[in-house]
A and B are shown apart, each in its own frame.
Chain A
Amino acid sequence: MATNHHNNEPPKELFVPHERKEDTSEQISKPSRSFFQDARRTFFKNKAAVLSVILMIIIIIMSIIGPYFNDYGMDDQDLSRAKMPPRAPVLENVPFLGLEGTLQSNFRGETVEEATENAVMRYDNAEEYIDINVLSEGDGSDDSAEVEATYNIYEAKDMQDQYFWLGTDQLGRDQWTRIWLGTRVSLIIAFVAAAIDLLIGVAYGGISGYYGGRVDNIMQRILEILIGIPNLVVIFLLLVVLEPGIMSIVLALTITGWTGMARIVRGEVLKQKNEEYVLAARTLGQSNGKIIRKHLMPNVAGIIIINTMFTIPSAIFFEAFLSFIGLGIAPPEASLGALIDAGFKVFRLYPYMVLWPAILISVIMITFNLIGDGLRDAFDPKMHK
């Protein structure tokens, strides 16, 4: 009866002992990365942001070394060479770039002769340096004839050995030099203003949010009063009282500019300080200072960096706006806004004077916004892949 299967039990020899393997359920296969490594990976995956960083670096480097690329100084005035069109060596032979150093426009008249006469009058009566290209013969009625006149101004002024890469302004100053100096001034104003915003805003918002209660209440009411005053009024009054210059513009920008940062930091600190990890630190007996340093700062840092990145372009824009309405940087200093203001006045006749500073300011604003955007994604753990 050795093989008697009681109750249908399977025979013992069919059982194989289960080999216990090491418990792998707690293992994490993903490589260990720190938060900032993850953030960097996410940022570098964002092509637009990376391109913006490269562009930004180029612009910053150019604002430092650009003015020394040619021999013209920032304030070398010479009315005899005012409003020269752009002319660059080698590139002057490529027709569509607009760097040939010629002025070109269309003129109209009753007849071709009259149209030509208009052109010659417009271009300093330097008849032998003007090429006329007849576009329409005309039938004798008003403005029916049209000619295209090309004025070789460099030859006319006997300056064939001179090259103003981006032309000159109304006072004959080299535009290239002034654009990069203007970029430098604009960037300095923006960075300093953003740094001061950061300093005041973070301190004010941090204190207000962390201590809460009555402190928060009073600080927020003060802030609301400041926000309630239209900042343009404050800035106008300040700039009227202060001497125009970089420092006064920075002061004007920061005296009202830090409020946004303070509000954002306060909100974030208010949110973070009631998170359970802060409570846990308190039950462990952590001091206030260390809670702020070790727990709150790292968790608020992301939003501060991002907000700073968005403060910079708005500061540049505001400076340009102030210069444009004539309250900004004082001549002969230049900023992008001042250059655009100068070019804007002669926009129809000398479009190159407004074109380049406008392109530059647009590129700067777009790049900073894209970098800020990239950083926002990079500092959001949910965007990490």
Chain B
Amino acid sequence: MENEKVLEVKNLQKHFKLGRKSVVKAVNDISFDIYKGETFGLVGESGCGKSTTGRTIIRLHDATGGDVIFNNENVHEKKSKKELLKLNRKMQMIFQDPSSSLNPKMTVMDIVAEGIDIHKLAKNEEDRKQRVQELLETVGLNKEHATRFPHEFSGGQRQRIGIARALAVEPDFIIADEPISALDVSIQAQVVNLLRRLQRDQNLTYLFIAHDLSMVKYISDRIGVMYFGNMVELAESDELYRNPLHPYTKSLLSAIPLPDPDYERYRKRVSYDPTGHDTTEEPEFREVTPGHWVRCTTKEFEQYKKELASK
């Protein structure tokens, strides 16, 4: 894999003000890079800031601090309309809930063609229709579906319409915000395989946000684990599953069920105790082995190094 960075997230922060005094630090100083053509998985429990990270990257939220650099351009700088449109074309998003991510009063044709209209990609009405039909076929729907309304489709079909809408503007980078969590398992596989096929065919880069660990492992090249607005561990997906270092990652991995009764009988759930950390020192994000980052204190850092070396 070539090491061309598509997206650099540097010390990104997003705080929500709740009242005059209380602030929710949904995303608190996280940094990571995403390379061209890879799938970066972002996992963590509900409310840990995964979706907020995704939405802040694509400018749905304004960042409180830090930078997002996409194709060597700072996303959060003030931009002219033209620059914004260019950014919107290259970076797209797939949403979580297929029942609310499609406007119920619009036909599939108009939903998918929305991006085409905004960016004026179609020469005429005929071309527009042609493009929509091609996109529908790309995501495995019939072209006759173009005249239908979203409520006539099943969840998996709707999610594929959402994917077609994102693909309509020919993006390089797609943020998939829990695209499969609202679907049942057999449909999840369909959608994930579709995403993988599209990645291969169109050379896409994904930021894949999810909380289903087995699915994330299947689709991702590298995985970042988030906990309470912080990135606690980042590694290649095989490395992360083989050698989890941070106790939270260990706890998460121990929660994956396997369809094997013998294994399940002896599976030990590790519960994470955040008070076990040394609080005298502010933890930092450090590279334990090349490509494997953990948020830890200096003491823990040494300990993790030893732990890895002994394996």
Contact = CB atoms under 8 A, between A and B. Distances in A.
**Interface SS, A side:** helix
Q: How large is the interface on B (under 10, 10 to 19, 20 to 34, 35 or more residues)?
A: 35 or more
Contacts of B97: 276
A280 B101 contact: yes
Contact of A279 (B95, B105, B106, B142): B95
Given A26-B157, A283-B88, A276 B101 contact: yes
A277 B141 contact: no
Contact of B101 (A30, A277, A285, A286): A277
Contacts of A299: 103-105
B217 to A, nearest CB: 26
Contacts of A277: 100-103, 111
B98 to A, nearest CB: 9
A295 interface: yes
A283 B95 CA distance: 11
Given A276-B100, A286-B118, A381 B151 contact: yes
Contacts of B118: 284-286
Interface string A268-298: 0000000111011111111000000011001
Nearest to A295: B103
A298 B140 contact: no
Contacts of B84: 285
A34 interface: yes
Interface in B75-123: 84-85, 88-89, 91-93, 95-97, 100-107, 111, 114-115, 118-119
Contacts of B104: 35, 299, 381
Contacts of B91: 283
B58 A283 contact: yes
Contact of A28 (B58, B89, B119, B145): B145
B100 A275 contact: yes
Contacts of A282: 60
A283 B84 CA distance: 10
B162 interface: yes
A7 interface: no
Nearest to A38: B149
A276 B119 contact: no
A213 to B, nearest CB: 11
A279 B140 contact: no
Contact of A35 (B149, B165, B169): B149
Contacts of B85: 285
A34 B88 contact: no
Contacts of B96: 276
B147 A32 contact: yes
Contacts of B60: 279, 282-283
Nearest to A381: B151
B306 interface: no
Contact of B92 (A276, A281, A283, A286): A283
Contact of A284 (B114, B145, B147): B114
Interface in B121-172: 140-142, 145, 147-149, 151-153, 157, 162, 165, 169
Contact of B95 (A28, A35, A276): A276
Nearest to B153: A28
A283 B55 CA distance: 9
A27 B142 CA distance: 8
Nearest to A274: B100
A39 to B, nearest CB: 11
Contacts of B142: 26-27
A21 to B, nearest CB: 15
Nearest to B87: A285
Given A26-B140, A30-B152, A284 B103 contact: no
B149 A34 contact: yes
Interface in A18-55: 26-28, 30, 32, 34-35
Given A275-B100, A381-B151, A286 B114 contact: yes
Interface string B242-266: 0000000000000000000000000
Given A27-B142, A28-B148, A275-B100, A280 B105 contact: no
Interface string A282-323: 111110000000110011000000000000000000000000
A298 to B, nearest CB: 4
A26 B190 CA distance: 13
Contacts of B101: 275-277, 279-280
A284 B93 CA distance: 9
A63 B60 CA distance: 54
Contacts of B115: 284-285
A181 to B, nearest CB: 42
Nearest to A286: B118
A32 B145 CA distance: 9
A133 B114 CA distance: 83
Contacts of A26: 140-142, 145, 157
Interface in B41-94: 55, 58-60, 84-85, 88-89, 91-93
Contacts of A381: 104, 151
Interface of A: 26-28, 30, 32, 34-35, 275-277, 279-286, 294-295, 298-299, 381
Report the 3 A-B pairs with minimum CB-CB distance, sorted nearest first: A285-B88, A276-B101, A298-B105
22 contacts: A27-B142, A28-B152, A32-B152, A35-B149, A275-B100, A275-B101, A276-B97, A277-B101, A277-B102, A279-B95, A279-B101, A280-B101, A281-B103, A283-B60, A285-B85, A285-B118, A285-B119, A295-B103, A298-B103, A298-B105, A298-B106, A381-B104
Given A26-B141, A276-B100, A298-B103, 13 more contacts: A26-B142, A28-B145, A275-B101, A277-B102, A277-B111, A279-B93, A280-B93, A280-B101, A281-B114, A284-B88, A284-B165, A295-B103, A298-B106
